[in-house]
Structure 1
Amino acid sequence: MYKKWFLLISTLIAGFFLVACQSSSSNSQSALQTIKQKGKLVVATSPDYAPFEFQALLDGKNQVVGADIDMAQAIADELGVKLVISTMSFDNVLTSLHTGKADLAIAGISATDERKEVFDFSIPYYENKASFLIRKGDLDKYKDLNSLASASIAAQKGTVPESMVKEQLPEAKLVSLSNMGEAVNELQSGKVDAVHMDEPVALSYATKNSDLQVANVSLTMNEGEANAVAIRKGNEDLKAVVDKVIQKLKDEGTYQTYLEKAAKLTEVEQ
C-alpha cells in the first residue's frame, strides 16, 4: 500500500520537474530560434497607409503590398522563413506585438520616446514628414497654421500625426479614427476640414483623388521620430538581423525602390 503511494507521489514529482524543465527550456529559446523553428515570421500591420502598406488587386487577388511589406519580405528571406502578414487597425498593431501574436510590427511606426519605453526598435528605415490632406478647393483657405487653428482635423488613432495635432493645434477639433480610409472619406464628405498624416501617404491619396490636395503648410515633427520596425524588448538576436537587412536596403537604395514600386501600384489602383 505504502509502496503504491510512494510510487504515485514519485511519478507526480517526476512529472512536475519534467514539465518545469521543458517550460524552462522553452522560455530560454530565443525569438530568432523560435521563428526559425516555426518556419514563419508573423508581421503585424495596418494596410491603409499607402505607399507603406495597403491593399491592391494583383493577378485577380486582393493582396497586402507596399514598401514596408517588401521590407518585411526581405527580413523573412534573410531568416529563411515564410512571411505571414497579420492585418489589423493601427491602434492594435503594437498590442499584437506586445501579446506575442506577432514577431514584428511594421506599419509606418515612428520610434517615439514613449514607445521606446515598451518596445525595442530597429535602426530607422525612413525619415518621415507629416502633411495635411485637404480638399482642392480649400488650398487658399488653409495656407498657414492660423487658418487651421480652429479647424476640424482628422488623424489616425495612436499615430504621431495625431499627437502632433494635439500638441501644436490645441484649439483644433481633433477627430481620431482607427482607419485612414475612413478619415479621408470624412474629408471628402465635408465632415472634417483636413486629415493629418505622413506626407507620402497624403501624396498617395492626392494622386488617387482629383478632389484632394496636400496643403502648403505643415507642423513641426520632432527629431529622431523616424519610421522603424518595432520588436519586443530583449529580442536582441532578432533585432540584429532586422538592423542588418535595413542597413543593406538603405545602403543600396532598395527601400526607395520599394516606395517607387508602391507608388506605381497606387496609380494602377486609381
Structure 2
Amino acid sequence: MKKTRILTGLVLAVSAFLLTACGSSTKEDTSVKDIQKKGTITVAMNPEFAPFEFKTLVNGKDTIVGSDVELAKAIGKELGVKVKFSSMSFNNVLASLQSGKADIAISGISATEERQKVYDFSTSYYESKNVVIVKKDKLADYTKTTSLKDKSVATQKGTIQENIAKDQLKGAKVVSLVQNGEMINELKNGQVDAVVFEKPIAQAYVDKNSDLAISEIDLKSGDSDAYAVAMPKGSKALKAKIDKVITKLKKDGTLDKQVQEAYDLSVSSAD
C-alpha cells in the first residue's frame, strides 16, 4: 500500500508539473513568419482620405495613392514581401483584421483605448487635428462648438470624428454616413450644415470646392487621436518591425514629406 501511494503521489506530481509547464507556455508569435511565408502583406484601407489614401489615375489606371500607401510599401520592403491593397469602407477596415482578410490596416486609424482592447497598434505616425467644414457664406454663423446646436453635422461612420462630433458639438444632430464624398455633397446641397474631418483631408476638399471653408470652431484632440497602423491582437513581432519603419521615416522627415507630396497630388487631381 505504501509503494502504491508513493507511486500514485509521483504520478500526480509529474502530472501537475506538466500541466503547469503547459499552462505557462505562450503561443508562438508567427505574425511576421506567416506574412513572409505568403510573400505578400494585405493592407486594408478606405481610399477616401486624401492625402493619406485616395484614388487617382496613374498611367490611365485607377490607382490607390497617398502617404499611407507609401508607408505600407516601406513596411513591405522591411518584411521583404509584396504589398497588396484591399479597398473597403472605413467601418469594415478593422473588421477585416479579425476575419483574417487583411494582415494590417492603415487608413487614418486612431488607436483609441477601446480599439486597443481588440487590436494591436504601432507607434503613432501622424498627429491628427480635427476641424469643421461649412459653406463659405456661413463662416460667420459657425464660430464655436455651440453654434451648431440643433444643426445637422455629418461624420463618417465608425470614425473617431463621429465620437468627437457627439462629445464636443453639444446639441448638434450627428448624421453618420459611409462615404466622404457623400458627406461633402450633402453639405453642398444643404442637407447638412457642417462636416467634421481631419485637417489635411478637410483642406483637400476645401481647396477643390470654392464654396466651402474650414470654420473657426476649435475641436479638442486627445492623445488617442494620433494615427497608427492596426494589426491583429498578439502581433508583437510584426509591431516591432512596423515600429522600426515608422521611427526611421519620422526621424529622417520622410513621413512629413510624403504627406505634403500626397496633399499636392490630391489637390491637382480631378474629383
Q: TM-score range by the shorter chain?
A: 0.7 to 0.9
| Matching residue of 1:76 | 76
| Matching residue of 1:181 | 181
Contact 2:146 2:169 in 1 (8 A): no
Query: What residue ranges of structure 2 are gaps of 5+ in the alignment?
Result: 1-26
| Matching residue of 2:221 | 221
C-alpha offsets along residues 182-232 of structure 1, whole Å, 9 cap, x if unaligned? 111111111000100111110111111111111111221222321000011
| Matching residue of 2:261 | 261
| Matching residue of 1:212 | 212
The code of the aligned residue for 1:130 comes to N
Contact 1:41 1:82 in 2 (8 A): yes
What is the CA–CA distance in structure 2 between the aligned matches of 1:58 and 1:215, rounded to whole Å? 33
| Matching residue of 1:111 | 111
| Matching residue of 2:252 | 252
Give the C-alpha shift of residue 260 in structure 1. 1.1
Q: Secondary structure at the match of 1:221?
A: coil
Q: Secondary structure at the match of 1:224?
A: helix
| Matching residue of 2:12 | none
Pairwise CA RMSD of aligned residues? 1.2
Contact 1:109 1:227 in 2 (8 A): yes
What is the CA–CA distance in structure 1 between the aligned matches of 2:251 and 2:28, rounded to whole Å? 34
Q: Secondary structure at the match of 2:224?
A: coil
C-alpha offsets along residues 46-80 of structure 1, whole Å, 9 cap, x if unaligned? 00010111111111111001111110010001111
Divergent runs of 4+, >4 A: none
Give the C-alpha shift of residue 263 in structure 1. 1.1
Range with bigger deviation, 214-223 or 33-42: 214-223
What is the CA–CA distance in structure 2 between the aligned matches of 1:192 and 1:28, rounded to whole Å? 50
| Matching residue of 2:234 | 234
State the identity as a percent.
Answer: 47
Q: How many residues align?
A: 244
What is the CA–CA distance in structure 1 between the aligned matches of 2:128 and 2:148, rounded to whole Å? 21
| Matching residue of 1:40 | 40
Give the C-alpha shift of residue 139 in structure 1. 1.0
Contact 2:146 2:170 in 1 (8 A): no
Give the C-alpha shift of residue 150 in structure 1. 2.1
| Matching residue of 2:97 | 97
